[in-house]
Structure 1
Amino acid sequence: MQFFSSDFKLGILGGGQLGKMMLYETRKWDIYTKVMDASPEAPCKIACNEFVEGSLMDFDAVYNFGKDVDVLTIEIENVNLDALEKLEHEGIKVYPPTKTLRTIQNKATQKLFYTDHGIPTSPFTRFAYTSEIEDSIHNGGLDFPFVWKSAQFGYDGQGVKVVRKMEDLENLPNVECIAEKLVDFKNELAVIVARNTKGEVVTYPVVEMEFHPEANQVEYVICPARIDEKVAKKAQEVALKVSEEMKQIGLLAVEMFQTQDDQILVNEVAPRPHNSGHYSIEASYTNQFEQHIRAILGLPLGKTESKVAGIMVNLVGAEGHTGNVVYENMEEILGMDGVTPHIYGKRQTRPFRKMGHVTIVDEDMVKARAMAQKVKETINVVSK
């Protein structure tokens, strides 16, 4: 099939920043794109060939959107799977496959998949409702501390809470959920695996993630991870096993814990470009967004090695600020060597909302990390 400067049409469900960065690559190759998002001001709107306003969870909206595309992909997992399944049956190529998305979309199903396929993960208990947890604690079925996770619709630290005492359960939504054993870890790591429609597979280097303690969001992504080579190899092997068992096509970002005794436990996965791969735009030979396009179109996969050390700093809305966004001290960070800001195009900020990211590259990892700290301390995402 001819993809470039042709009648081929790529559909993308979701119009956020991940889709916007994917569109940088489709525009580079002159691939025709059609995007759907519920927001009329979605970041993707300015860069796609066609934009459709509609709910990603609505069967008719998703089905009608996908009927006239050749390949359909996602930039967010929360989409109507019944509609995708119908489109698949009618011959539309959907990547990641609906079967993979059904496994991933529900965190309880995802965790069961790991245990059923011999993939190391933290012990967990599944609950139909949060209200059942208290009885389990009283009956000795569950001990503090543990991590409560909503089974569905959690993202960017939402739908997750560390529970250390009974009072921490108050005000949690009464939904299907899991309670995971709290892992004593040295590092939080991630590996992105790319698999194309022909079965070719590559992995990116292991990255290390530093989280904001209150927002439960990634603050820094560091590549390469500052870990022993044996641990890195083990992490890549586990990520490859997850990708193989899930039969994923496209990208699969595998988030993991490195325990105190250097075991690797899978936390969760995302079947799409991911925050942990943003560094690759400046630091890698083939960035994650181009790689995803290559994979879902069955093109040869690109080189995943890094050219230089890369660190990504998330730009999130400052606490106490809601409204029209202002990026303070942007000129100052633009004057720093090796610093590239990415602004996502969201006009409204709110506390901890992802508004952009900054990549810092340097041949010296120590210098890159010091510069990342300086960037973090300099730029502020506030409201007017």
Structure 2
Amino acid sequence: MDFFSSNFKLGILGGGQLGKMMLYETRKWDIFTKVMDASPEAPCKIACNEFVEGSLMDFDAVYNFGKDVDVLTIEIENVNVDALEKLEHEGKKVYPPTKALRTIQNKATQKLFYTDHNIPTAPFTRFAYTSEIEDSISNGGLQLPFVWKSAQFGYDGQGVKVVRKIEDLNGLPNVECIAEKMVNFKNELAVIVSRNTKGEVKTYPVVEMEFHPEANQVEYVICPARIEDSVAQKATEVALKVAEHLQPVGLLAVELFQTQDDQILVNEVAPRPHNSGHYSIEASYTNQFEQHIRAILGLPLGKTDSKVAGIMVNLVGAEGHTGDVVYENMDTILEMDGVTPHIYGKKQTRPFRKMGHVTIVDEDMARAREVAQKVKETINVISK
């Protein structure tokens, strides 16, 4: 099939920043794109060839959208899988495959998948409803502290809470969930695995993630991770094992814990471009978004090595600010060497909302980390 400057049509479900950055690559190659999102102000709207407003969870909306494209992919997991499954059964190319997406979409199912395939992960207990947890604690079936995770619809730190005492359960939604044993870890790591339609597989270097303690969001992504080579190898092997059993097409971002005794445990995965791979736009030979397009179209996968050390800083809405967004001190960070900001195009800010990111590249990792700290302290995402 001819993808370039042709009648081929690529469909993307989700119009957020990941889709917008995917569109950088489709525009580079002149691939026709059609995007659907519930928001008329979705960041993708300005960059795709055709935009459809519709709910990603609505069966008919997703099914009708998918019928009109040649290949269908996602930039967010919260989509109607039943509609995608029907399209797949009718011969439509859907990537990631619905079998993998259905497993990943539910955190309880995802954790059971790891257990079934002897993939190392933190011990957990599955609950049909959050209300069942208190009885389990009272009866000695569950020990405090633990991490509560909603089985579905969690993202960017939402649907996750550390429970240290019974009172911490107050106010949590009464939904299917898991209670996961807290891991005493040295580092949070991630590996992005790419796999194309022909089964070719490549991995990106292991990255290290530093999280905001309150928002449970990534603040910094550091590539390469500052870890021993043996640990990096182990992390890559675990990520490849997950991909081997899930059989994704496109990208699979595997988030990992490095324990105090250097064991590697899988935290969770995402079957799409991921926050942990944003550094690759400036730092890698083939960025993650181009690699995803290559993979789902069955093209040869690109080189995943880094050209220089890269650090990504997330730009999130400042606490106490809701409304029309203002990026304060942008001029100042643009004066710094090796700094590239990416603004996602969301007009309204709110506390901890992902509004953009900044990549810092340098041949010297220590220097890049210093600049990243200055960027974090300088730029402010506030409201008017």
TM-score (norm 1): 1.00
Q: Is 1:350 matched with 2:356? A: no
Q: 2:31, 2:243 → 1: CA distance?
A: 27
SS of 2:41's equivalent?
A: coil
1:208 aligned residue: 208
1:50 aligned residue: 50
Shift of 1:68: 1.3
Structure 1 residues 290-315: Cα deviation after superposition (integer angstroms, max 9, x where no partner): 00000000000000000000000000
TM-score (norm 2): 1.00
Q: 1:351, 1:109 → 2: CA distance?
A: 31
* Mapping 1:222-301, distance limit 5 Å: 222-301=222-301
Shift of 1:202: 0.2
Q: Work out the percentage of aligned pairs sharing the same amino acid.
A: 89
Quick one: which amino acid aligns to residue 31 of structure 1? I
Q: 2:244, 2:204 → 1: CA distance?
A: 15
Q: 2:138, 2:342 → 1: CA distance?
A: 49
Structure 1, unmatched stretches of 5+, are: none
Structure 1 residues 133-187: Cα deviation after superposition (integer angstroms, max 9, x where no partner): 0000000000011000000000000000000000100000000000000000000
Quick one: which amino acid aligns to residue 48 of structure 2? C
2:85 aligned residue: 85
Shift of 1:91: 1.1
Q: 1:91, 1:112 → 2: CA distance?
A: 29
1:65 aligned residue: 65
Q: 2:115, 2:85 → 1: CA distance?
A: 26
SS of 1:307's equivalent?
A: coil
Structure 2, unmatched stretches of 5+, are: none
Quick one: which amino acid aligns to residue 307 of structure 1? K
1:175 aligned residue: 175
Q: Is 1:123 matched with 2:135? A: no
2:361 aligned residue: 361
Shift of 1:284: 0.1
Structure 1 residues 46-101: Cα deviation after superposition (integer angstroms, max 9, x where no partner): 00000000000000000000001000000000000010001011111000000001
Structure 1 residues 231-270: Cα deviation after superposition (integer angstroms, max 9, x where no partner): 0000000000001100111000000000000000000000
Q: 1:250, 1:239 → 2: CA distance?
A: 14
2:194 aligned residue: 194
SS of 1:34's equivalent?
A: strand
Quick one: which amino acid aligns to residue 284 of structure 2? S
Q: 1:258, 1:249 → 2: CA distance?
A: 26
Quick one: which amino acid aligns to residue 379 of structure 1? I
Q: CA RMSD, aligned part only?
A: 0.3
Q: 1:336, 1:303 → 2: CA distance?
A: 28
Q: Is 1:19 matched with 2:22? A: no
Q: 1:240, 1:250 → 2: CA distance?
A: 14
Q: 1:371, 1:247 → 2: CA distance?
A: 39
Q: Is 1:370 matched with 2:377? A: no
1:318 aligned residue: 318
SS of 1:147's equivalent?
A: strand
1:142 aligned residue: 142
Structure 1 residues 317-346: Cα deviation after superposition (integer angstroms, max 9, x where no partner): 000000000000000000100000000000
Structure 1 residues 87-121: Cα deviation after superposition (integer angstroms, max 9, x where no partner): 01111100000000100000000000000001000
Q: 1:302, 1:141 → 2: CA distance?
A: 48
2:31 aligned residue: 31
Q: 2:91, 2:8 → 1: CA distance?
A: 15
Dislocated runs of 4+, deviation >6 Å: none
1:5 aligned residue: 5
Q: 1:131, 1:2 → 2: CA distance?
A: 54
Q: 1:265, 1:288 → 2: CA distance?
A: 23
Shift of 1:370: 0.3
Q: 1:379, 1:30 → 2: CA distance?
A: 34
Quick one: which amino acid aligns to residue 171 of structure 2? N
Q: 1:251, 1:101 → 2: CA distance?
A: 12
Quick one: which amino acid aligns to residue 288 of structure 2? Q
Q: 2:174, 2:69 → 1: CA distance?
A: 38
SS of 2:299's equivalent?
A: coil
Q: Is 1:162 matched with 2:162? A: yes
Shift of 1:124: 0.1
Q: 2:201, 2:4 → 1: CA distance?
A: 23
Quick one: which amino acid aligns to residue 33 of structure 2? T
SS of 1:131's equivalent?
A: helix
SS of 2:130's equivalent?
A: coil
Q: 1:237, 1:284 → 2: CA distance?
A: 21
Quick one: which amino acid aligns to residue 199 of structure 1? G
SS of 1:110's equivalent?
A: helix
